[in-house]
């Protein structure tokens, strides 16, 4: 689940499928996938937002998602 939901989050965020609110929409989309599979919700902890933004910029620039996926899988899924 983790990689599927978070890959969707990165795809929607980067490809700007919506005129405004791509990051928020991407998080909601990832949460839907995650909750539907019974894995919980995706939450980027407040103390990790700066690191997430740096990794997101690196992903935008290089299209390499392994590092940010590792970060998200480690820090963001939350069981409900």
Per-residue pLDDT tens digits of the chain, which is 80 residues long: 467 777 777 777 777 666 666 677 777 777 777 777 777 777 888 999 999 899 989 988 998 989 988 898 888 766 66
The pTM is what?
A: 0.68
Spatial distance between the Cα atoms of 58 and 23, rounded to a whole number of angstroms: 16
What separation in angstroms does the CA of 70 have from each of 19, 20, 21?
28, 27, 24
Helix (H, G, I), strand (E, B) or coil at 15: helix
Domain ranges of the chain: 2-78
Question: Tell me, what DSSP letter sits at residue 80?
Answer: -
């Amino acid at each position: 689940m983790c990689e599927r939901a978070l890959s969707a989050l990165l795809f929607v965020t980067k490809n700007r499928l919506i005129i405004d609110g791509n990051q928020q929409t991407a998080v909601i989309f990832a949460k839907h996938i995650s909750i539907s599979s019974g894995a919980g919700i995706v939450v980027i902890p407040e103390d990790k937002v700066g690191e997430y933004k740096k990794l997101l910029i690196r992903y935008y620039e290089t299209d390499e998602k392994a590092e940010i996926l590792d970060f998200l899988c480690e820090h963001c899924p939350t069981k409900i």
